[in-house]
Chain A
Amino acid sequence: DTGVSQNPRHKITKRGQNVTFRCDPISEHNRLYWYRQTLGQGPEFLTYFQNEAQLEKSRLLSDRFSAERPKGSFSTLEIQRTEQGDSAMYLCASSLGLAGLQQETQYFGPGTRLLVL
């Protein structure tokens, strides 16, 4: 399967612990997005990478959240000092963006479901 993969698929943690999720995009895709989705809601934009540069970040993202894409390939999303309100599905998407063009198609991964007890 050459789609977007995310690991782990499920994570249960206790409040206050740190968690890290990984996203492996489609290999030639230069753009990578992280979203959070809670029950009954659509995906909520968290952050965007173009290659290794984090170019856009939601103001809703607290300081406890950090994301990296060190070599422009896979990305990690870390949540420090988790809270029960962090329980959600965390989605990753990737796309191939061409310079100067806005057109792109995002391909989503299966998500990581986080439960904070």
Chain B
Amino acid sequence: AQSVSQHNHHVILSEAASLELGCNYSYGGTVNLFWYVQYPGQHLQLLLKYFSGDPLVKGIKGFEAEFIKSKFSFNLRKPSVQWSDTAEYFCAVKPSGTYKYIFGTGTRLKVLA
């Protein structure tokens, strides 16, 4: 069955630390890849997306993600986190040809001021 794994469930960092959140998926075909963020008390919103082309994708607020097809991974990175990045982050995969988005279980990030 298709699935998305986010291995880090909770991450605590100090401000200015670098961030990398892991995302791996199980699907052999072409996929579209997404990272969503949910700030406390707010809706889920798109952080960045990959459809094709350059595997290094830049999103909002200084986030980026790299698609490594051979590793079935789409890890999220930010070189220097801020207190305002405290949120829950979800990785999602959409197999090409379907409209079924498959989400990971999420990673709760807490950034200490």
Please give the residue numbers on chain A whose beta carbons come within 8 Å of chain B beta carbons, in ascending order.
3-4, 31, 33, 35, 40-45, 48, 50, 55-56, 58, 91, 93, 102-103, 105-111
Contact = CB atoms under 8 A, between A and B. Distances in A.
Contacts, number: 56
A102 B96 contact: yes
Interface in B90-113: 90, 92, 94, 96, 98-106
Contact of B103 (A4, A42, A55): A42
B99 A55 contact: yes
Contacts of A45: 100-102
B44 A56 contact: no
A36 B67 CA distance: 27
Nearest to A43: B103
B67 to A, nearest CB: 15
A93 B92 CA distance: 14
Contact of A91 (B44, B45, B92, B102): B44
A33 B99 contact: yes
A12 to B, nearest CB: 21
Contacts of A93: 44
